[in-house]
């Protein structure tokens, strides 16, 4: 597994553009709340660490990961955002539901990003077990929320350059 050699919370802070003056939204799935709230905290703390103010972080909760794309679209339609970070957790079960949710969520988030030409960051853990999800939401592999906030800051800066 790729995460085994990469801690999701480790990055070079000097490589991250300032978030001062930027406005981001976090769209968070209520499903697997233990995991998604940890992802939310990691993303929020990282945005704040890089200059985004509390007032410039919008948080909205949606029922599940499948609804993340719609939530991101609603917020981008309202305007005034530099990007959206979608945070969710889908844990494999005994039916093909996992595959359908993961595929639809992935495609939906990408479609919203391309439609609005804004960073819409995919922060959805797709794990086989809750233990793996915990490991990636603040456990031994770090916090994917941190990784996603860094990606949002970098992508917003890239957009501004062109």
Separation between Cα atoms, residue 132 and residue 48, nearest integer Å = 27
Asked if residues 104 and 46 have their Cβ atoms less than 8 Å apart, the reply is: no
H-run or E-run covering 58? strand 57-62
Using DSSP bridges, classify how beta strands 142-143 and 137-139 pair: parallel, antiparallel or unpaired: antiparallel
The dihedrals phi and psi of 41, each to the nearest 5 degrees, come to: -60, -45
Count of CB atoms within 10 A of residue 15's CB?
9
The percent helix, strand, coil of the chain (3-state, each to 5) is 50, 20, 25
Active-site amino acid positions: 97
């Amino acid at each position: 597994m790729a995460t085994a050699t990469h801690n999701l919370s480790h990055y070079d802070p000097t490589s991250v553009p300032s978030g001062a003056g930027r406005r981001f939204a976090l769209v968070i799935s209520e499903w697997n709340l233990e995991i998604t709230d940890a992802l939310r905290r990691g993303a929020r703390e990282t945005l704040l660490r890089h200059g985004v103010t509390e007032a410039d972080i919008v948080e909205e909760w949606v029922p599940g990961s499948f609804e993340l794309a719609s939530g991101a679209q609603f917020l981008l339609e309202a305007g005034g955002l530099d990007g959206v970070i979608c945070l969710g957790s889908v844990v494999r079960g005994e039916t093909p539901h996992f595959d359908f949710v993961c595929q639809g969520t992935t495609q939906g988030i990408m479609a919203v990003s391309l439609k609005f030409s804004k960073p819409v960051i995919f922060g959805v853990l797709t794990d086989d077990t809750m233990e793996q999800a915990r490991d990636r939401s603040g456990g031994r592999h770090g916090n994917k929320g941190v990784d996603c906030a860094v990606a949002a800051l970098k992508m917003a800066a890239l957009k501004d350059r062109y």
